[in-house]
A and B are shown apart, each in its own frame.
Chain A
């Protein structure tokens, strides 16, 4: 019986692994075929030399960085304050942070286009710069569930109340407490949320495309419609970026302090 179940486990695992690994191998192989008759990295070279690749990728990295900053500024003080003073509000805040998983991104951006047009009271869409800001805001909304979850988990592992009281006794103001006491203590959790946000934002297509911003996601789509081997190379690059972000999160989680509530 035991032997039989192990056989099934290996079989399931093997078939599953084949399904997940084959497309990656096939994509990689395909991406090397640009030069006729031999394998080469020509597809990658032509991508890296493409000025559109450089500008769109840089644009998306900058947007991602601002998204992370906005996310941290928004989530860290809120999660801290909820833990310290307003635990009753926690269910409401958690519910709000989960909404972006319920409302599809395409609906959120549709709402933005309707609400922040040139003739509205908040005309974000009137200028390119304003649209960039709106894109950052939209991405911060998309990343909100992950950022909040990460930071809240981090706060759970430290004694927020004691740290705050100790800092107050030493004369620290709120800005100092959050920036110099709380933030460093949950830095690893914040970074986890940041890398996850980065992975989500860097190749995002729907919002960037509908807001008409020159981001990496729409560039990917455009390349896919117009060339043969470069899309595969881009898929491999994107996978590597996602993998890199997730690995960093894994590595960081090893440095995270163990919870006082869960002896380990």
Chain B
């Protein structure tokens, strides 16, 4: 692949005059390696899976696999996944927005702002297995925070029903990359709130609350919604964190799919393709909404 990139680009090489004469074909050669790569390793594998979702073992077209997704175990997996992604997206978006507003607009020292953005860049990429380890060391049964809360404050969170391996434990862990991602994406939008708008509102006699309700929230709303659905997709596709935290036992879609790829636990490869197809549909829809909201939001960012 690497070699063909260079040679194909090089084959376009004769000097400028030829290029104007042979405009069409030579133009396309320059981007051919990229399109071949994308076709072979991104589009065809995905399309193949989607096609497989609509076929039975004999290769005939059928909707049976899609219908079979409604069997209780798989439907429950989708439902739990959607709940986890939804709650972690909403909480991550709200907290991330609050922090972005605090560092951009709250009159905090300016170095805190760049420090927060740098840290957010790191933390939004600190997902997966190590993140799960961190939270087990902190809030696991023998975690540092668990022990401190028990010994100093007399609160045994595990006897109160909390577990890092539960629904809320997973959400608490996901927030570690959801909040920073929100901060990274929403800060430019918060920056886009012009100072003049606040002054104009104050001149017209608006209270602080009215300024927020009638100016800030409407302006930020599309960005907020867009980023929230992006966080949703982000959580929905996450495998490693959940797998390292709870093992194969947790019934969410990515982990079901992981087990299916490992050993055909559904005893029907085509049902596995349908499971993957369902994931693409959900993350695809989420991203579609993100693009639509983002387009709306850009009006204010000029």
Contact = CB atoms under 8 A, between A and B. Distances in A.
A31 to B, nearest CB: 7
29 contacts: A22-B138, A23-B176, A26-B137, A26-B144, A30-B144, A31-B137, A73-B5, A74-B37, A78-B30, A78-B31, A78-B34, A102-B287, A104-B283, A107-B46, A110-B257, A111-B44, A111-B276, A122-B40, A137-B41, A173-B10, A200-B125, A204-B240, A205-B243, A206-B258, A220-B244, A224-B132, A224-B133, A225-B247, A231-B133
B302 interface: no
A218 B101 CA distance: 38
Interface stretch (A7-15, A53-61, A153-161): A7-15
Given A8-B102, A27-B134, A250-B118, A74 B41 contact: no
A175 B128 CA distance: 39
A115 interface: yes
Contacts of A104: 236-237, 239, 254, 279-280, 283
A29 B125 CA distance: 22
Contacts of A105: 237, 239
Interface string B26-45: 01101101110110111111
Contacts of B123: 20
Contact of B130 (A82, A200, A239): A239
A206 B239 contact: yes
Contacts of B134: 23-24, 26-27, 232, 235, 239
A206 B257 CA distance: 11
B131 interface: yes
Contact of B102 (A12, A174, A204): A12
Interface residues of B, number: 89
Interface residues of A, number: 89
A107 B137 contact: no
Contact of B10 (A10, A16, A175): A175
A234 interface: yes
Contacts of B179: 16, 19-20
B190 to A, nearest CB: 12
Contacts of A220: 129-130, 133, 244
Given A77-B5, A114-B49, A246 B137 contact: no
A233 B161 CA distance: 28
A39 interface: no
Given A22-B145, A113-B261, A238 B31 contact: no
* 3 tightest A-B CB contacts, nearest first: A9-B106, A111-B45, A104-B237
B116 to A, nearest CB: 8
A5 B106 contact: yes
A73 B112 contact: no
B34 A70 contact: no
Instruction: Pick the most buried of A8, A22, A104: most chain B CB atoms within 10 A of its CB.
Output: A104
B208 interface: yes
A203 B129 contact: yes
A69 B212 CA distance: 48
